[in-house]
Amino acid sequence: MKKIQLYVISLWLLFFLVAVKEFVFISWQPSFTFEGFLTFLKPNIIALTAISFSLLGLFFYARFEYFLKGATKLPKKITKIEDQSYEHLTFLTTYIIPFLRVKLEGKDLVVTILLLIIIGAIFIKTNLFYKNPTLALLGYKLYKVDTEKNTGLIFISKENLKLGDSVHHIFLSDNVYFVKL
């Protein structure tokens, strides 16, 4: 479930941009009737859906921040470290930016939704869900590290990590952890 939530968080930027792109500004006079509400809702259903997913992504992010505060497991000591923060840009340029060129209606909308689901499934199955541009915007960095007991771990942290640091962690999956000093 954490992987899916991180994938939704990674798409937060896309959802936000889609909401801006698809929002239809109409000269709508507030009318507290059902017809008045439909006048606003119909042309903005995609934008409002994107806003809803953006809010869901913000909720998932707040949950992760809360869980990270509870990282109290025995610390792992870093014996080798490599900054992998550039990986955030790979996801952004490969997946998010091309979606903004698609007209979100009819078959194109269905195909876009299916592609997002397929990409999400691939990212989750291949354990690449941590390549997350939203986390980069929020100040998180990616590190590939070795510890005293394991090699090839991925640490996600807001802090600058260095060789010799001992970090508290929250296990996300296989070799991926949220960590803090």
* 8-state DSSP, 117: H
Query: What is the per-residue pLDDT across 118-134, written as a single tens digit (0 to 9) for each?
Result: 888 887 888 777 777 78
Bridge partners of 130? none
> What b/e sequence results for 100-128 when a residue is b if at least 16 CB atoms lie within 10 Å of its CB, and e otherwise?
eeeebeeeeeeebeeebeebbeebbeeeb
The amino acid present at 94, given as its one-letter code, is T
61: nearest Cα among 1, 119, 12, 117: 12
pLDDT band at 161 (very low <50, low <70, confident <90, very high): very high
CB 168 within 8 A of CB 72: yes
Domain ranges of the chain: 2-180
Query: What is the per-residue pLDDT across 5-24, written as a single tens digit (0 to 9) for each?
Result: 888 888 888 888 888 888 88
Instruction: Show the beta-strand stretches assigned E in the chain.
Output: 76-83, 141-147, 153-157, 166-173, 176-180
pTM of the full structure: 0.69
The amino acid present at 119, given as its one-letter code, is I
